[in-house]
Amino acid sequence: MSEEQIIRTSSSVCPTCLREVPARVAEEDGKVYLRKECPEHGPSECLLSEHAWYYKALDRYFFSVMPPQVKQRDYLIRMTEKCNLQCPICLASADGDQNSPPPTPDMELAKLIEFMDTHPKGSLKIDLISSEPTLCPDLPDFLRAIRERGHISSLHTNGIRLRDLEYLKTLKEAGLDEVFLQMDGFDDDAYMRIRGAKLTDLKLQVLENLRQAGVATSLVMVIMPKVNEREVAKVLDYARQHSFIREVMFLGTRALGYFRDSDALLMPDQVIDIVNRETGLCPREEVFCFQKLYFALLSVLGVRKCLYVQHNLLIRDGERYRAISDYVNWKRVEPVLDQLPHIGFGFWARMRWLLRLGISMISPRAFKLLPDFFSLFLRLKFGWRLKALPFRPLLIGYITACDPLNVDRQVGQYCGKGEFANDIGRNESGSVANIERERYWYALRQSNAGPARRE
């Protein structure tokens, strides 16, 4: 075994008592860990990456290019704790054991309007989530209020109520811009393990309704090891064939709410390995180059995004996908990307750099995709509105939520999602909100059931 080598220091929380503790990101035996020690509960660690070269290079690049302060423009709105499923992996609620705290009241429209009116018109993306927002009877009123203020509305849903096409049309007429649909594959045995119900036929009906209604859709696939990994290729193949699907997000489960299966917890690095193994479409070197490009553009455009949210881009081409490297020569582009950490944060210096980047990306193969690339660039700048995205490029995401095991306060300050909720109020970082909610639930459990520990 090699000795631990510290990559950087940070702070985190004890996964048992949730107190703030010093933390370090460290390499050992080619892997990267987040390690910390609580004075009361001792040491703990979280595996961040099994590919130290990849993690270290991206970590270094991310923190060298991201501005110190970046304004939040994307907020999760926690609508209700009601749900029409009982998912074994639920991260959104503390329900599930006898010591659960009482439910938080539903979000009130007046409170959301007051929140939105503190921001300029058309400046926000509003994600309606948790636990199942379609169970809110006044959901159309929320959508109308968002549309009246020019913001983007995203509905995060299990889709059960969207099998009613007329209801979906009602939401669209009220102002619904896009849907983020839980889509864990096409296998009922996997759905029983992940969602507690057989849902394949329902999901297919919901997808057909979304297609008929012309609602831009992101498929959000939770990957559970040894349960639905084989479904990854099927989900990507479905996305290739349907133009209303504009992105696919692969989500690793985390220790939030009452989910605590340590064998099922995945960081983005592990999700990348699974997607590549199952499809052969997203080799790590390709993801690495695209992620540097993505971080660079976010930095120059002043957009927040977390290190724990990573991406790749596939190009739909008839019966197959093409890699972005079929259009972009990374040997020309990457040296320009590596210049960005050295030019500072001056506006004109960065605009000149952006021009050099654009020139480096021009090639005969890239010309036919220039309108698509330009459209993606505009969406980064002015808001990631799915229905405005071009069809051929498909953004792939590898996502992990922050939980008490993996939370890294340096990473969390750049979280691409803020949160507004009834239980813990407004937070500019979803990473902070996740930990604060865990503390809130932990304190309630202790007061109701004595000194029971979080684990």
CATH code (residue 396): 3.20.20.70
The H or E element that residue 181 is part of is strand 178-182
Residues with Cβ within 8 Å of residue 273, at least 6 apart in sequence? 50, 284
List the one residue out of 30, 61, 50, 26 whose CA is nearest residue 284: 50
Q: Does any domain span residue 69?
A: no
Q: Does any domain span residue 265?
A: yes
Q: Does any domain span residue 213?
A: yes
Q: Does any domain span residue 94?
A: yes
Q: Does any domain span residue 67?
A: no
Is residue 57 scored above 60 in pLDDT? yes
Percentage above 70 pLDDT, the chain: 95
Per-residue pLDDT of 140-194, as tens digits, reads 999 999 999 999 999 999 999 999 999 999 999 999 999 999 999 999 999 999 9
Q: Does any domain span residue 198?
A: yes
Q: Does any domain span residue 298?
A: yes
Could you give the number of structural domains in the chain?
A: 1
Whole-number Å distance between alpha carbons of 4 and 26 = 6
Provide the domain limits for residue 168: 74-328+363-400
Per-residue pLDDT of 86-126, as tens digits, reads 888 887 654 444 445 567 889 999 999 999 999 999 999 99
Residues in the chain: 455
Is residue 259 scored above 90 in pLDDT? no
Q: Does any domain span residue 356?
A: no
